[in-house]
Structure 1
C-alpha cells in the first residue's frame, strides 16, 4: 500500500478548519456547502503554486445520500422517515451510498492538485496511510477492506477487528481531486447504522431493484472511542491531524478561500442545490 507521503510530497499545506462556524454568512452551512467548497478547492483557480489543502468539517444530524440512493423505488417514504427523526437528507456529488453525519463524526478532505498521473487507488491508499499515521500511537490494527454489511460499503472501509469506523470517497474535478473520509469518532455508530438501515427498509421495501443496496448489520460498525476503549472526541482527532501537518510541513497556511475560489464555490453550490431539488421537495 502507498505511503501517503509518496503521494503528497509537498512541503506546504493549506488548512481549513470548518468544524465550528459558518464561513459563508449568506449561505446556510450544510453538507451541500462542504461538497461545493471541496469542488472549488480542487479546481485550484488562479493558483500558480498549487498547494494541497486539508479541510476539517463537521455537520449536525444529516444523512448524505449517494446518487444511486435516489433510484430507490420508495425514496420519498425513506426521506419522510429521516425527516421525522430529525435528519435532513442531501445528495452528494461523489460516489458511494448513504452515510450518517452528526456532531460525533469528523470529516477530512485532502484536496490534491495535478493528479492526472496519480491513480484513484493511490489517492485512496494515501488517505488510509494518513489516518494510520494520525492514530499510530493508539493502534496498529487499522485494516482497509470492504465491510460488507456496513452502510456505504467499499474497498477502502477502515476497520479494527472487523468493525468499521470510517469510509472514504473520492471526487476528481478537472486535474484536482478531493479525497474525503468520514470518521466515526464518538457517539453510537450502531444507532447511526440503524437509522440508515431503517431508511433503506422504508425506501426499498424489499422490492427488487437494479442496484444492490446494503443489508445493514449495525453490529459491524463502531466509533473509534468504542474500538479503542478511550474517551476520544472530535477535538482530539483534530489536534492529532494538526500535529501531523506541523510535523511534515515547512509551512501551514490558514488563510481562508480566495475570491477566485469563492466565485467557483458559488457556481458549484448552485449545481449542488439543483442536484438536490427533488430530494428537498420531499422533506
Structure 2
C-alpha cells in the first residue's frame, strides 16, 4: 500500500516470516469470522486484514509474493493487469520447464478467473488494487505463490475461516492446490525461482513502460 503512494514502477518480491492468514477487512465484520479469528490466534496463526477483496489467503515462509506497482498507461484495463502478472509468472515457470494456465479452480482458496494453474491445480492467486491520481491511475498487481503447502493447522484454520466467511459455498480442499516444490522435481532447487520471477516481471514491466513512453 505504501508503494501505491510513490507513483513509479516497482517490482517487489517478499515473504512473511510469520505464518498467518490474510482476508479482506470487510469479512471481519462477521461475528462468525471474528470467532474463528480468535481461535486461529490462540493456535498461533494470526489473522490479518487487507483492503482488497477476495477470500482467505495463506501467508508465511511457504508463500512467495510478487507485487508490481506502476502508472497505468492510457487504455490499460483490469484484464491487462492480470495478464501482466500472470504472464510474468508463466515466463518464470517455463525457465524450469513448467507449463501453466490461468482459470478458476473449484475448492481453492480465494478462487478466481486469474488463478495460475499447474497440472490443473492452483499454484498462485492474483489480485489488483487501483489508486486514482491527478495524472491517472496507479496499479498494484499482486500474486501469492505457494512455494510449499501450508501445514495441517494452518489449513484447518483457513478452511474454518472460509466456511464462516462464505456460508453455503464449496469448501476448500488441499488437493485443489499444488506447491512449487512439488512441480519442480527432485533435481531442481526452488531457491532459483525468485530470481527468475524478478527478471521476468522486470522485463515485462520495463517493456510496458517503454511502450507508454514511445506513445507519449
TM range (shorter): 0.7 to 0.9
- How much does 1:104 deviate? 1.6
Instruction: Give the match's secondary structure for 2:197.
Output: helix
- Residue of structure 2 equivalent to 1:82: 40
Q: What residue number does 1:56 align with?
A: 13
Aligned residue number for residue 182 of structure 1: 144
TM superposition shift of 1:137: 2.3
Q: Distance in 1 between matches of 2:46 and 2:205?
A: 38
Q: Residue 141 of structure 1 aligns to a residue in which SS?
A: coil
Give the distance between the partners of 2:184 and 2:46, measured in 1 at CA: 30
Alpha-carbon separation, structure 2, partners of 1:190 and 1:144: 25
Q: 1:236 aligns with which of 189, 192, 195?
A: 192
Q: Secondary structure at the match of 1:146?
A: coil
TM-score computed with the length of structure 2 as normaliser: 0.81
Structure 1 pair 245/200, CA: closer, same or farther in 2 (3 Å)? closer
Secondary structure of residue in 1 paired with 2:94 = coil
User: Bigger CA drift: 240-249 or 89-98?
Assistant: 240-249
Q: Which runs of 5+ in 2 are unaligned?
A: 207-216
Cα deviation for residue 182 of structure 1 reads: 0.6
In angstroms, what is the RMSD of aligned CA positions?
2.5
1:6-45 to structure 2, matched below 5 A, reads 36-41=1-6, 44=7
Structure 1: 4+ residue segments shifted above 4 A: 245-250
Change (3 A) 1:249 1:159: closer
Number of aligned residues: 199
- Unaligned runs of 5+ residues in structure 1 are 1-35, 45-49, 251-283
Q: How far is the alpha carbon of 1:71 from its aligned partner?
A: 4.3
1:96 equivalent among 51, 54, 57 = 54
Q: For 2:116, which of 158, 163, 172 is the aligned residue? A: 158
> With structure 1 as the length reference, what TM-score do the two structures score?
0.63
